Amino acid sequence: MMAVLPVVRRECICRYFIFHGNATTNRLSRAEAKNCMDYVCTTTARSQGSGLITLTLRSAFIIRICNRNDMVIPYDVNQYGDAVIYSKSLPRDLVEKEFANEIVATYGYWKAKGINAVWVYINLEDCHVVPDLAKLGFIFAHAAPDELTMTRWLGEEPSRLPLTTFSYFSVHGMVVDEKGRVLMIREHRRKYVWMFPGGMPESNENLFETAERKVLEETGVVAKAESVISLRQRLRTEYEGACGFFFGCLMKPVRDSSSKDAGGAVSDVVVAMRWFTRDELKALPKQQFFRHHYTIWKAYENSLESGTSKELSKADDDSITSHLFNFGYF
């Protein structure tokens, strides 16, 4: 059975290759073959010409390939020339017993090679390696349910790596029915403020899919997103180092909405929903209208009164740094 070697760039020096049964490695240079150590079984070598050697392996074993006697953890190289390690792809013995020592040697190798940046993707089960990386100056860059990413800038010039996952987004839908009424909700956390339904995306959702799902979940109304009409950027959020983008979609119901006009609770998030006429929204006290959504509705109302689609932009010095409104019609 032919062994499958890790796919690495030529300048990478692989720390471990593991084989079972009779197998033949990829061709190695004579200098690399001379540096191979710690054979667990007997190997035979035959010349392939052009200074290359093929090692034929007779039983399960591990080859350590060294460069100037340094042990180097296997890594890939991304399109920017950064070293990339995935803990789930490493041999278990290395991760569980030898990582603390090997990462120090590998770090020195990267510095000597002039590699500018390193990304380490750590599986949840391998989080014990975090302190070893932190000692070398690695910082947290991203966290997912089953994976943590740490990075280290090695170059002499200022780092070009992002400090963290720096943005997230949510979507709200301004649903306008055939009578010109606007669908509004009140949430448990803001019981006295009316707003458009919406929320955070699920995995692999686009903006329209998120808006349509959230409107249905929070109000029971089936609506179709027609266009993106607003964008809000917020620099200060509850997530350190991250900014938020809040999109607004103009939507319309896909069937008669008269049966969905109750004022009571609709979901565990929403305490009330209601269709507002234009006159009712004009009369609604401003403090009872969620500020950002009021701004969107007001721009929409102005565009209706002027009879033309209009684009507005705004930038200021507080946490909301920009607004963009671009209205289309059904």
How open is the CA angle 23-29-32, to the nearest 5 degrees? 85
Residue with the bigger pLDDT between 277 and 257: it is 277
Same domain, 108 and 185: no
What CATH number corresponds to the domain at position 108?
3.40.630.30
Is residue 237 within 8 Å of residue 244, measured between CB atoms? yes
Same domain, 197 and 309: yes
With respect to residue 308, please indicate whether it lies within any of the assigned structural domains: yes
What band does 242 get if pLDDT is binned at 50, 70 and 90?
confident
Same domain, 269 and 198: yes
Residue with the bigger pLDDT between 255 and 320: it is 255
Alpha carbons 247 and 74: distance in angstroms, whole number: 42
Same domain, 130 and 177: no
Same domain, 161 and 279: no
Q: How many structural domains compose the chain?
A: 2
Alpha carbons 116 and 240: distance in angstroms, whole number: 25
What band does 307 get if pLDDT is binned at 50, 70 and 90?
low
Residue 53's pLDDT is: 35
With respect to residue 258, please indicate whether it lies within any of the assigned structural domains: yes
With respect to residue 31, please indicate whether it lies within any of the assigned structural domains: no
Same domain, 322 and 183: yes
| Four-residue CA torsion sign, 152, 156, 158, 161 | negative
Same domain, 161 and 184: no
Same domain, 146 and 255: no
What band does 245 get if pLDDT is binned at 50, 70 and 90?
confident
**Residue where one domain finishes, among candidates 165, 187, 206:** 165
With respect to residue 87, please indicate whether it lies within any of the assigned structural domains: yes
With respect to residue 316, please indicate whether it lies within any of the assigned structural domains: yes
CB atoms within 10 A of CB 112: 11
Same domain, 183 and 307: yes
Residue 229 has pLDDT above 80, yes or no: yes
Is residue 281 within 8 Å of residue 297, measured between CB atoms? yes
Same domain, 94 and 113: yes
With respect to residue 61, please indicate whether it lies within any of the assigned structural domains: no
Same domain, 134 and 228: no
**Residue where one domain finishes, among candidates 165, 200, 226:** 165
What CATH number corresponds to the domain at position 286?
3.90.79.10
Give the number of C-alpha atoms closer than 13 A to the C-alpha of residue 277, restricted to the C-beta side: 4
How open is the CA angle 230-232-235, to the nearest 5 degrees? 170
Least confident range of 93-97, 238-242, 282-286: 238-242
**Residue where one domain finishes, among candidates 134, 165, 196:** 165
With respect to residue 41, please indicate whether it lies within any of the assigned structural domains: no
Instruction: Average the pLDDT over 31-56 and give the result.
Output: 36
What's the chain's average pLDDT? 74
Query: Each residue of 114-155: pLDDT tens digit?
Result: 999 999 999 999 999 999 999 999 999 988 889 999 999 999
With respect to residue 48, please indicate whether it lies within any of the assigned structural domains: no
| Four-residue CA torsion sign, 157, 158, 164, 167 | negative
Q: What CA–CA distances, in Å, run from 133 to 96, 139, 209? A: 14, 8, 39
Question: 239: domain range?
Answer: 167-326
Of these ranges, 159-173, 190-204, 263-277, the one predicted with the greatest mean pLDDT is 190-204
Query: Each residue of 4-29: pLDDT tens digit?
Result: 333 333 333 333 333 333 333 333 44
Same domain, 187 and 296: yes
Residue 325 has pLDDT above 60, yes or no: no
Cα(first)–Cα(last) distance of the chain, in Å?
63
Query: Each residue of 294-306: pLDDT tens digit?
Result: 988 988 888 777 7
